[in-house]
Amino acid sequence: MKKALLILALSFTVLLAAVGCNSDNTLKIWVGSESEAFYTEKMVEYVTEYNNTHDEEFPYEVVVSGVDTGTAASTFLDDTEAGADIFTVAHDNLGKLIAGSSSIAPITSAALLAQIDADNPDSFKDVIKGTVDGTTYTFGIPYIAQSLVLYYNTSYITAEQAETWEGILAAAKAANKQALSLTGTDGFNNSFLLLATDATDHSTSLELYTDGVQENCFATGDDTIAKLKWGQSFFLDANGAKKPSESGWEVEISDEKSISVIGGAWHFSAAQAALGENLGITTLPTFTLTEDDAYGTAVAGTVYKSGSFADTKMFVMKKNSERAEYLEDILLFLSSTAVQEESFEAVQNLPAYKNAATEFEAFQEDTLEADLASAQVEMFSWGIPQPFGFSSRFNTYFYSKGAPELILAILENAENAYSTDQDIYDQMVEIQSIWTTGLKLE
């Protein structure tokens, strides 16, 4: 209670730092809604420290607001003048933000660039850059990592069974339950089969905009067809996987109609509320091809590990902000490893810095939060960052031009139209065309 009152008092001090100010004297920061209170507190700390170490008080009122990360880029672009000085986006939104002459500013601070380079894995450093007028700049500052994991009901599924979809399906059959609920049928939440890789060497023939080139997509490899054949049998099984019902995955899990769900850290609170002490968390399971699933070089007995997009959420800055001289120092503080660790402990935001798995003590604790963090970190070995930030078209083509619906049609064998290998192959040709052109084949 004392801490809350102190924060309130300090917040009031921050507001008074710009006595008589108008809206032009407001420095706006957007973060995910779940993080608003935490980053409000951190900015109170920042302003207090600034006031203690400078001859003048911080000249702006700082307002931290919770904005949906998935729509923040579009919200900003709808009215950049009213948009935040600093805001959070998933890295795959970079393309739309730098289209044309760019709506966001590149990082120029040597200290911030050095921190970004020292703290982040190469996979993140590759997706926070963009090219404007022939010059490549660093635009994003990673501070949260995320990947999909498995939440499961431990009263029906053992830890050993949770390692494979076959084990989970066996548990579902024994209890006459549904093996898996999806949180969504979009190309992100239903990506576990498409992004699956060989469990022995992580190999896959799948290509998604390799090297940032629009034409570099490939969806008809033998392994891709075989994985979708296996997925179809999993979805068509009476106790297998199902797309969300009208009641939603939370109700399906809570009512024990379904015994597992694929989700992200943002689903943790709902999963915990649904399952309570019966909540288990682990990496996405493996599956093994049968004779019925085999296709070409993808032979029976091959084991695949379900995949995930393994992404970063990053801070970016408004271009030509009137408060620009202060933004990079704020970002140096907010993206530091210390604040990333505090963010995890407060709201379970997974740190983005590269050595968090071994250096951050909270990951070693016997808690569900630590299980969630460890599972996400391990999934980074079985996933890829969404490769859509190079161009605004990539994100649209992959998610919004009908490809996810075509994949679901294969898995559900819609209208019995995908019963043969050739049917599935032809559908993947259509999907590949959508990824590269935004259009189905004529």
Residue pair 291/300 in contact by the 8 Å Cβ criterion: yes
Distance CA(231)–CA(243), nearest Å, equals: 13
Structure letter (DSSP) for residue 350 = B
**Of 316, 285, 317, 318, which Cα lies nearest the Cα of 303?**
285
Q: Over the stretch 104-156, which tens digit does the pLDDT of each residue have?
A: 999 999 999 999 999 988 878 888 998 888 899 999 999 999 899 999 999 99
Domain boundary among 326, 357, 375: 375
Residue pair 95/393 in contact by the 8 Å Cβ criterion: yes
Residue 57 lies in a domain: yes
The tokens for 221 are 């490899």
Distance CA(426)–CA(410), nearest Å, equals: 11
Residue 396 lies in a domain: no
Same domain, 119 and 177: no
Q: Over the stretch 185-229, which tens digit does the pLDDT of each residue have?
A: 999 999 999 999 999 999 999 999 998 899 999 999 999 999 999
Same domain, 132 and 168: no
Chain-wide mean pLDDT for the chain?
91
Residue 23 has pLDDT above 70, yes or no: no
Q: How far apart are the first and last CA of the chain?
A: 65
Residue 11 lies in a domain: no
Residue 7 has pLDDT above 50, yes or no: no
Residue pair 429/216 in contact by the 8 Å Cβ criterion: no
pTM of the predicted structure, to 2 decimals: 0.82
269: CATH? 3.40.190.10
User: Out of 233-237, 379-383, 396-400, which region has the weakest mean confidence (pLDDT)?
Assistant: 379-383
Single-letter amino acid, residue 272? Q
Same domain, 31 and 138: yes
Residue pair 330/337 in contact by the 8 Å Cβ criterion: no
Distance CA(191)–CA(170), nearest Å, equals: 23
Residue 302 lies in a domain: yes
Residue 70 has pLDDT above 80, yes or no: no
Same domain, 157 and 261: yes
Check residues 315 and 101 and name the one with the higher pLDDT: 315
pLDDT > 90: what percent of the chain?
73
Residue 232 lies in a domain: yes
Distance CA(218)–CA(433), nearest Å, equals: 9
Residue 52 has pLDDT above 60, yes or no: yes
Check residues 308 and 126 and name the one with the higher pLDDT: 308
Same domain, 172 and 294: yes
Domain boundary among 324, 341, 375: 375
Q: Over the stretch 357-388, which tens digit does the pLDDT of each residue have?
A: 777 887 778 889 889 988 998 898 899 988 88
Residue 289 lies in a domain: yes
Same domain, 174 and 74: no
The tokens for 207 are 């290509």
Same domain, 167 and 293: yes
Domain enclosing residue 108, as ranges? 25-145+311-375
Residue pair 335/142 in contact by the 8 Å Cβ criterion: yes
Domain boundary among 359, 375, 391: 375
Q: pLDDT confidence of 245, banded at 50, 70, 90?
A: confident
Instruction: For 92, list phi and psi in degrees, rounded to 5.
Output: -75, -5
Nearest-10 Cα torsion for 152, 153, 158, 163: -10
Same domain, 301 and 415: yes
Same domain, 281 and 171: yes
Q: How far is CA 108 from the centre of its chain?
A: 27
Q: Report the number of distinct structural domains present in the chain.
A: 2
Residue 160 lies in a domain: yes
Q: Over the stretch 257-276, which tens digit does the pLDDT of each residue have?
A: 999 999 998 899 899 999 99
Same domain, 156 and 255: yes
The tokens for 409 are 């049609």
Under the phi-then-psi rule, with left for phi > 0, alpha for psi from -120 to 50, and beta for the rest, what region is 286? Answer: beta
Check residues 54 and 356 and name the one with the higher pLDDT: 54
The tokens for 368 are 């569900």
Same domain, 58 and 190: no
Q: For the sheet with 303-305, list strands across it.
A: 197-198, 303-305, 286-288
Q: pLDDT confidence of 402, banded at 50, 70, 90?
A: very high
Same domain, 59 and 29: yes
Residue pair 258/177 in contact by the 8 Å Cβ criterion: yes
Residue pair 42/7 in contact by the 8 Å Cβ criterion: no
Q: pLDDT confidence of 1, banded at 50, 70, 90?
A: very low
Give the pLDDT score at 392.
77
Residue 19 lies in a domain: no
Rg of the Cα trace of the chain?
23
Which of the given ranges, 61-75, 223-237, 307-321, has the highest pLDDT on average? 223-237
Residue 376: strand, helix, or coil: helix
